[in-house]
Structure 1
Amino acid sequence: MALGPLWLGLALWGALHTQAQDSTPNPIPAPPLHKVPLQPDFQNELFQGKWYILGVAGNEINEEKHSQLKMYTTTYELNEDNSYNVTFILPWNQRCDPWGTTFIPSFQPGLFTLGNIERYPGIQSYTVRVVTTDYNEVATMFFMKVYNNQEFFKITLYGRTKELSPELKENFIGFAKSLGLTDEHIVFPVPNDECIYK
């Protein structure tokens, strides 16, 4: 069953699968949230702006299936209530599809939930956690969704530029493996000029 454009955007962003039946039947269990670091003293205003997606890992990611994933961007725009309007620009079927949502602040700085979650059938909860960031160059994000009573998680390496240093790559791989993922669950999107400057 093909997914509609909004759900497709959420699926690519949150789990990188294109059909509901592609979900992993027995995914690697998501780590307890208290075991996932949270950026101390998170600064909302410094985090906003455009980020390039340099690395993606998760229990729905399959290196073979997603090895040709093209680099995409996400832009965070801070609202007065400290929520973010988040816009993804995804290269998809020879087009550049912008897709947006809202991240609502939670009880701790750097912890968010998905706004208007009722728009996404099957998603029971969606948590966004800023693991670490220096605001100017790099950030590591943790996303966890409960979809049809199954937990799926993803970590994403953001960069302010398209450059991925060997050190950043190794640190990202190490963090992914510390959460129980293996090499086959880690991909590094292919740098490209398609969509990411729009």
Structure 2
Amino acid sequence: MALGVLCLGLTLLGVLQSQAQSSSQDLIPAPSLRRVPLQPGFQKDQFQGRWYVVGLAGNAVQKEEEDNFMMYSTIYELQENNSYNVTSILLRNQHCDYWIRTFVPSSRAGRFTLGNIRSYPQIRSYNVQVAATDYDQFAMVFFKKTSRNKQYFKITLYGRTKQLPEELKERFVRFAKSLGLTDDHIIFLTPTDQCIDN
């Protein structure tokens, strides 16, 4: 009897381990920061202000959920210590939701880490890198987070307006695919006038 219970326990443990491995294998591996372009001569003062999130791509983004994603905005406010206070504003459950965090500059201009990371015990590391921007029309920003032994990454396509030319969207898709993502991991968000212009 005890041997039977032991065998059953070991079998269940093996099933749980294989499920955990397969769920982490489902994530496309996150590239190193060295593989991601960094905007040359990044101008921190020109980058600040409101950006609309026009597109999202990432190893945890699902194309089939595209219709559920409404556009949101993110405001970068440059501080005296060269960090940014970053506020994202989105419509959630018919209410305006504000998500505020701090991006602290690293040794390379255009690369940041999450400030006060100790407030997020589940996050081991969080990096942000401005891959490309013209400051006036668009930006592509890379995010990489390590949480509970999994690495997540995403790229946002920011626009100073809610609509961007098709060639910029195509450039965004090419960039996402160059980092190993597929069409199933790339979405464009539905514009809205609720909350995100506040």
Rounded Cα–Cα distance in structure 2 between residues aligned with 1:166 and 1:132 = 17
Identical aligned pairs, as a percentage? 57
Match of 2:154 in 1: 154
Contact 1:83 1:102 in 2 (8 A): yes
Rounded Cα–Cα distance in structure 1 between residues aligned with 2:164 and 2:49 = 19
Rounded Cα–Cα distance in structure 2 between residues aligned with 1:35 and 1:197 = 34
Match of 1:187 in 2: 187
What is the Cα deviation at residue 168 of structure 1?
1.1
What is the Cα deviation at residue 164 of structure 1?
2.2
What is the Cα deviation at residue 98 of structure 1?
1.2
Question: Which blocks of at least 5 consecutive residues in structure 2 are unaligned?
Answer: 1-19
Rounded Cα–Cα distance in structure 1 between residues aligned with 2:164 and 2:127 = 26
Contact 2:141 2:156 in 1 (8 A): yes
**AA at the equivalent of 2:24:** P
Rounded Cα–Cα distance in structure 1 between residues aligned with 2:59 and 2:66 = 13
Provide, for residues 35-89 of structure 1, a one-character-per-residue CA deviation record: whole Å limited to 9, x for no partner.
1000011111010000000100000000112432000000000001100000000
Match of 1:80 in 2: 80
Contact 1:67 1:187 in 2 (8 A): no
Q: Which secondary structure state, in structure 2, belongs to the residue aligned with residue 25 of structure 1?
A: helix
- The two structures, once aligned, show a CA RMSD in angstroms of 1.2
Contact 1:58 1:185 in 2 (8 A): yes
TM-score by length of 1: 0.86
TM-score by length of 2: 0.86
Q: Which secondary structure state, in structure 2, belongs to the residue aligned with residue 161 of structure 1?
A: coil
**AA at the equivalent of 2:135:** Y
Matched, 1:25 2:24: yes
Match of 1:5 in 2: none
Match of 2:55 in 1: 55
Matched, 1:142 2:139: no
Match of 1:105 in 2: 105
| Structure with bigger gyration radius | 2
Rounded Cα–Cα distance in structure 2 between residues aligned with 1:148 and 1:136 = 37
Instruction: Show structure 1 runs of 4+ deviating over 3 A.
Output: none
Rounded Cα–Cα distance in structure 2 between residues aligned with 1:158 and 1:109 = 19
What is the Cα deviation at residue 197 of structure 1?
1.4
Q: How does 1:128-139 map to 2 (within 5 A)?
A: 128-139=128-139
Rounded Cα–Cα distance in structure 2 between residues aligned with 1:116 and 1:67 = 33
Q: Give the number of aligned pairs.
A: 176
Contact 1:85 1:102 in 2 (8 A): yes
What is the Cα deviation at residue 25 of structure 1?
2.9
User: Which has a greater percent of helix?
Assistant: 2
Contact 1:52 1:74 in 2 (8 A): yes
Match of 1:13 in 2: none
Q: Which secondary structure state, in structure 1, belongs to the residue aligned with residue 126 of structure 2?
A: strand
Rounded Cα–Cα distance in structure 1 between residues aligned with 2:157 and 2:129 = 12
